[in-house]
Amino acid sequence: MTLALILLLLLPSISWAWSGKVVGVTDGHTITVLQEGEPEKIRLFGIDCLEKRQAFGTRAKQATSALVFGKVMGVEPLAVDRYGRTVALVTMGATLVNQELVRQGLAWVYPQYCKRPICGERKHLEAEAREARRGLWVDPQAVPPWEFRRQRRK
């Protein structure tokens, strides 16, 4: 009985995280990581980088590449999106890549999907980047990527 209680208490803290080498960067928020030798598309949780056709879209991809390409990263899966990508937190040591891109002013917090407690810290980092006019925030009229995509579909 005691062992079962201990397991129940520990179960929520068990993570299905894994690590793998980053072998591709599609854009600022999508990477490919090898999991047991197989490529897996990863969508960085809770952020949205500018599209390639937007100012700073290419810069976001370059920053993501500099942070992760060719390196072994920790991947903590949270969900699978409608495109079949694993939505995850991605870390290298103590650095959470998702947050680092927001801190650098190269990603927006994605309010539609970022509803976990960690998102509060990201919103603070986004506000700091905006105030410091880092990255995309040099443009006071920057268009969020989700709005840019919606406009392009029309």
Give the mean model confidence (pLDDT) for residues 69-97.
97
Give the mean model confidence (pLDDT) for residues 76-105.
96
What number of other Cβ atoms are within 10 A of residue 146's Cβ?
15
Residue 10 has pLDDT above 60, yes or no: no
Q: What are phi and psi of 91, to 5 degrees?
A: -130, 150
Query: pTM (2 decimals)?
Result: 0.86
Residue 64 has pLDDT above 90, yes or no: yes
pLDDT value of residue 118: 84
pLDDT value of residue 119: 85
pLDDT band at 15 (very low <50, low <70, confident <90, very high): low
Give the mean model confidence (pLDDT) for residues 144-152.
91
Told to judge if 43 belongs to the known catalytic residues of this protein, a careful annotator would answer yes
Residue 6 has pLDDT above 80, yes or no: no
Domain positions in the chain: 15-153
Told to judge if 85 belongs to the known catalytic residues of this protein, a careful annotator would answer yes
CA distances 65 to 17, 23, 37, 51, 123, Å, are 21, 10, 20, 15, 23
What number of other Cβ atoms are within 10 A of residue 58's Cβ?
15
Told to judge if 130 belongs to the known catalytic residues of this protein, a careful annotator would answer no
Which residue among the candidates 40, 59, 82, 85 is catalytic per the annotation? 85
Q: What are phi and psi of 103, to 5 degrees?
A: -60, -40
What amino acid is encoded at 24 in this protein? G
Residue 14 has pLDDT above 70, yes or no: no
Instruction: Give the helix ranges, DSSP H, for 31-117.
Output: 57-68, 97-103
Which residue among the candidates 38, 40, 43, 131 is catalytic per the annotation? 43
Residue 121 has pLDDT above 60, yes or no: yes
Beta bridge partners of 90: 75
Which residue among the candidates 38, 40, 51, 130 is catalytic per the annotation? 51
What amino acid is encoded at 103 in this protein? R
As a whole-number percent, the residues of the chain with pLDDT over 70 amount to 90
**Which 8-state DSSP code applies to residue 80?**
E
Confirm if 64 and 50 have CB atoms less than 8 A apart.
no
Domain covering 15-153, topology: OB fold (Dihydrolipoamide Acetyltransferase, E2P) (2.40.50)
Lowest mean pLDDT among 12-21, 23-32, 56-65, 125-134: 12-21
Q: What tokens were used for 86?
A: 């694993």
Rounded Cα gap, residues 54 and 6, in angstroms: 51
